[in-house]
Amino acid sequence: MKKSHHDILEYIFDNDDAGIREVASIMKRKHNDYRDFYALAALLDAGYIGFTGPVFEKKDGTLDVYRQVRLFQAYSQGEGIQNYDGVQISIDEKDSYLHTASKAIEYFHSRSESRTGWFLTAGFALLTAIISGVIVSHLTVTAIEIIAK
């Protein structure tokens, strides 16, 4: 997962949910158009996040990324009636929210478990190195004493 995708997902995960306008305002936007929202659409399509607003699907049930990123761009333009490339939101629509889905919870849980495993492994390796050093030092001193006699 790219860092930009991870940062967006982590923000939503840490806050339990986040408004689409809020996320759009904190995103690093390179193009300042719909292309900046492909990361959100990818996270939505993969099941990492959910969206309380309209989710456009194709006839086969997959996410219509083309229309979805344009909807996100329309939300990012502010409140009121917004229209972007054929996708319109009305003045009555308040901010819709992105929320963590089960896959995001599993993702962060597995990262946490993995990190814990690495710390335990590092701790055991350090402890083993210290014990080995003490044993080798003691054996070396004992060997020198035996040779010196």
In angstroms, the CA 141 to CA 84 distance is: 79
pLDDT in tens, 77-130: 888 788 888 888 875 657 789 999 989 989 988 988 888 889 999 999 999 999
pLDDT in tens, 18-56: 999 999 999 988 998 999 999 999 999 999 999 998 999
Tell me what pLDDT residue 86 has. Answer: 83
String of DSSP letters for 25-73: HHS--SSSSGGGGHHHHHHHHHTSEEESS---B-TTSSB-HHHHHHHHH
What's the full length of the chain, in residues?
149
Tell me what pLDDT residue 51 has. Answer: 95
In angstroms, the CA 58 to CA 45 distance is: 12
pTM beyond 0.85, yes or no: no
